[in-house]
Structure 1
Amino acid sequence: MSEVLPLRAGLRVAIMSDETGWHTRQLLRALRERGCAGRCIDLAQCRIATPHAWHGLVLPGFGESLPDAVIVRGIAGGSFEQVTKRLGILHALREFGVPVYNDARAIERSVDKSMTSLLLHAAGVPTPPTWAMESAAAAQQLVTRESAAGRSLVLKPLFGSQGQGLQRIGWVDGAHVPLPPLEGPYGSLAYLQRFVAAPAHDYRVLVVGGTAVAAMRRVSEDWVHNVARGARCEPQSLSAGIGPELARLAEAASRALDMDYAGVDLLPAADGPQVIEVNGVAAWQGLQRVTPFNIAQALVRDLLDRKCPASALRRQA
């Protein structure tokens, strides 16, 4: 095994995103501060063309070469075939030795809520009881059984984000609410999670390189606490009160999904916090407002100082 070369200045980093805005500007600035050149690329514009170069990929702005590293900021929705191709590009980059932050495997685990729930459960991370099934009849039987026990469930789109499409069903406010039709945003699949009665807030914890580095409370009168739905962001310490427990669970959730960085959502419950979701392309604009350090700089630092040298070591082995 040869010695790892020092990480050189002037790395070219692709930021994979289907839109540019505040987050990409933050990342581009953080990369420039480290002497790196960032370029935003939409995965929809990337192609496979085997005659083009030895690697067979065409990435806008990179000619016949590959980027030195990739940050995944967003993947546009599309048909099953389109999304498969886009994720395939990320898989290929990793196979070719390019550090991808988070890589396609981690994104697949987190964007599929049923797989997230399964991996959290298998790792012993506290998470609400969860079901995913294609049979509407079986799902309705489950809803009826839970309702008869005085419990409600949350129906979620398997690939949804920002609190869109969430519905409470079962026993809700003293009445039975049946399973709605599963067409449309639910894709004819019932992904159901037992509702956790909680105060008017939940928690978002940011894990970077395996360590919880920042957190906030998302406060809202609605039972859905997403910032995109109008929740108010308040700072949350990770060193006092419930903070250490939040940090421990968020780090365990990130490990369970093998993620470079993650936005972990937790709900307070009677027997301790429960992990609800793990986000592999987490937004952090709301969290930044209550965090004293620059989050984009922390992400770039972890990529350049941990992920890139580790990838270089593997390539030289």
Structure 2
Amino acid sequence: MSTAARIAVMTDETGWHTSRLKKAFRARGCEARCVDLADCRIDTTWAPHGLAIPGFGHGLPDAVFVRGIAGGTFEQVTLRLGILHALRECGVPVYNDARAIERSVDKSMTSFLLNRHGVPTPATWAGESAAFAQRVLMREAAAGRRVVMKPLFGSQGKGLRRLGMRGGRLAPLPSLAGYSRVAYLQRYVEGARPGFDWRVLVIGGRAVAAMRRVGGRGWIHNFAQGAACEPAALTDALAQTAVRAGEALGLDYAGVDLIAQHGQNPDDAGGNLPPLVLEVNGVAAWRGLQSVTQLDIAAALVDDLLDRRLAAPGAPLVPVTFAGGDASA
């Protein structure tokens, strides 16, 4: 690989993450440029590729790191993902590529693929019928369980509603109008006290770091919702489950959110009850995780992109068996 590799970091905003990535690329002798997908275009008169990427003239970047995709209309987001698809068609390694991002952004597809690949995850229902969603809610409540209603597209713990019996009465299903007419329901898992979940970072088929997200806004433990980040031991159970989740969605790198099953020892996430995967983030932030681990996460991501994807485009993930240890060491 040439030491003068030119990398496009696709992002709709610059800041801490992009600064870390650009520094890591410079350390590897590469030129990294931040590009907003909204500024790119398909232009069949733009020889020779039919793609115009700002800052790269009539050429294309040697590789693309997807750090962020701005929200927008259905058409806008489709076009932005189309640019990533087109780059892949032109032979440019895209990390993560559009296919994997589409799977992870759509929570229903994430749940489907996790279940299809045998990755432990809570029972999930997704559909457009409010009547069916109400029946699910009633059935779960009758069994003494609660469900969580989430936006199909969403992140950082926004828009989550916990539904079930309240004051001896079943709370009604919220209007689907606030959820783009789609009901995505996931069985609620009662966590330990104080409440927490795990975030495990998977890079190139290997779990490399973990943390516990403790507290936050009630039962929602996202860093963006005020949860405190604590170092966590990266046990075999956590590592293996997170790696399998990333593989199920075809992600080069992934932030995997997990929670202990009811009755599982939350201190070791092992034994006969593996942790459950709640969500898989294909455009994962890592500022909170970086604060509790000595691993240079940006450098690890850049190394995987350059040494695995750019050196051998299309190379499959080769999971590394993790022998246990402390991710914060």
- Is TM more than 0.5 here? yes
1:245 to 212, 237, 256: 237
Give 1:4's aligned residue.
none
Tell me the SS of whatever aligns to 2:312.
helix
User: 1:3 maps to which residue?
Assistant: none
Q: Aligned to 1:301, which of 298, 303, 315? A: 303
1: CA distance between counterparts of 2:282 and 2:67?
Answer: 9
Query: Are 1:13 and 1:71, in contact at CA under 8 Å, matched by a contact in 2?
Result: yes
- The Cα shift of 1:272 comes to 3.3
Deviations 1:190-247 (A, max 9, x none): 0000000001110000000000000000000621100000000000121xxxx11000
Aligned partner letter, 2:291: R
Q: How does 1:176-255 map to 2 (within 5 A)?
A: 176-184=170-178, 186-199=179-192, 200-220=195-215, 222-238=218-234, 243-255=235-247
Of 140, 149, 174, which aligns to 2:143?
149
CA contact under 8 A between 1:71 and 1:100: conserved in structure 2? yes
Q: What are the within-5 Å matches in structure 2 for residues 49-64 of structure 1?
A: 49-64=43-58
| Pairing partner for 1:292 from 291, 294, 311 | 294
Where does structure 1 differ by over 6 angstroms across 4 or more consecutive aligned residues?
Answer: none
- Note if 1:134 corresponds to 2:128: yes
Q: 1:120 to 1:97 in 2, by over 3 A?
A: same
Residues 136 and 206 of structure 1: CA distance in aligned 2, closer, same or farther (over 3 Å): same
- Secondary structure at the aligned position of 1:291 is classed as coil
Equivalent pair of 1:31/1:37 in contact (CA under 8 Å):
yes
Q: Which moved more, 1:44-53 or 1:62-71?
A: 44-53
Matched-pair identity in % = 64
CA contact (8 A) 2:93 2:309 kept: yes
CA-to-partner distance for each residue in 1:14-40, whole Å, 9 max, x for gaps?
Answer: 000011110000000000000000000
Q: Offset of 1:95 from its aligned partner?
A: 1.0
Alpha-carbon deviations, 1:226-280, whole Å to 9, x = none? 0000000000121xxxx11000000000111111000000001124310000000
SS of structure 2 residue aligned to 1:278: strand
Establish whether residue 24 from structure 1 lines up as the match of residue 18 from structure 2. Answer: yes
In the aligned structure 1, how far is the partner of 2:121 from the partner of 2:159?
Answer: 20
- Identify if the C-alpha distance between structure 1 residues 197 and 313 changes in structure 2 by more than 3 Å, giving closer, same or farther: closer
Q: Aligned match of 1:159 in 153, 161, 175?
A: 153
CA distance in 2, matches of 1:59, 1:136: 43
Alignment of 1:41-120 (within 5 A): 41-120=35-114
Q: How far did 1:175 drift?
A: 3.9
The aligned amino acid for 1:161 is S
SS at match of 2:309: helix
Displacement of 1:174 in angstroms is 4.8
State the 1:312 CA deviation: 8.2
Unaligned runs of 5+ in 2: 264-272, 317-329
What is residue 13 of structure 1 aligned with on the other side?
7
Which stretch of structure 1 is more off in the superposition, 244-253 or 266-275?
266-275
Query: Following the alignment from structure 1 to structure 2, what is the Cα–Cα distance between the partners of residues 112 and 80?
Result: 13
Moved more, 270-279 or 37-46: 270-279
Distance 2:73 2:289 in 1: 32
For the residue of structure 1 that corresponds to 2:311, the secondary structure is helix
Deviations 1:84-143 (A, max 9, x none): 100000001011110100000000000000000000000000000000010111111111
CA contact (8 A) 1:52 1:58 kept: yes
Structure 1 residue 173: deviation in Å?
A: 6.7
Residues 181 and 104 of structure 1, relative CA distance in 2, 3 Å threshold: same
Distance 1:244 1:54 in 2: 48
Contact 2:238/2:274 (8 A) holds in 1 = no
Query: Residues 298 and 174 (structure 1 numbering): CA distance in 2 closer, same or farther, change over 3 Å?
Result: farther
* Count, aligned residues: 303
> Residue 310 of structure 1: SS of its match in structure 2?
coil
1:276 equivalent in structure 2? 278
Asked if structure 2 preserves the Cα contact closer than 8 Å seen for 1:152 and 1:172, the reply is no
- Counterpart of 1:79, as a letter, is T
Opposite residue 273 of structure 1, the aligned amino acid is P
C-alpha RMSD over aligned residues: 1.4
Q: Matches of 2:309 and 2:68 in 1, distance apart?
A: 19
Name the CA shift for 1:172/1:92 in 2 (closer, same or farther; >3 Å).
farther
